[in-house]
Amino acid sequence: MFVTSLTSAGAFSSCIGSKILPIQAFGIFSAIVVPMVFIQTVCVLPFIYYFYEKYLMTTDNCCCCCKSKEKISQDHPDLKLDELDGEDEVEKEKENAMMR
């Protein structure tokens, strides 16, 4: 990943020698942005992944799609768990039809 970023920054920096001002400005901008994105990817994203796994995945305040069926049934006792398994019901019906 470092080599890719390095070669991209080098290629964009070659646009600095252009006599066309918009291409020169694009080359300067891109030659600066590509290494900054690499640094962000290497330094910031691992922290974000760690924070997400440690604090957001383990809380009970997560959205309903991340909760287990047992937790949903505790929060909403009037909701039937069978309604959550719509796809499983269809698959069971297909299997039963094939068995006949």
What is the per-residue pLDDT for 81? 56
Percentage above 90 pLDDT, the chain: 41
From 16-20, 57-61, 85-89, the region with the lowest mean pLDDT: 85-89
- In angstroms, the CA 82 to CA 73 distance is 11
Q: Which helix (H) or strand (E) holds 34?
A: helix 21-39
Q: What is the pLDDT of residues 41-65, one digit of tens each?
A: 999 989 988 888 888 776 555 555 5
pLDDT tens-digit series, residues 61-77: 555 555 555 566 666 66
Per residue in 55-88, is it b (16+ CB within 10 Å) or e — as a string? eeeeeeeeeeeeeeeeeeeeeeeeeeeeeeeeee
More confident residue, 80 or 28: 28
Q: Compute the distance between CA of residue 94 and CA of residue 33 in angstroms, rounded to an integer.
A: 53
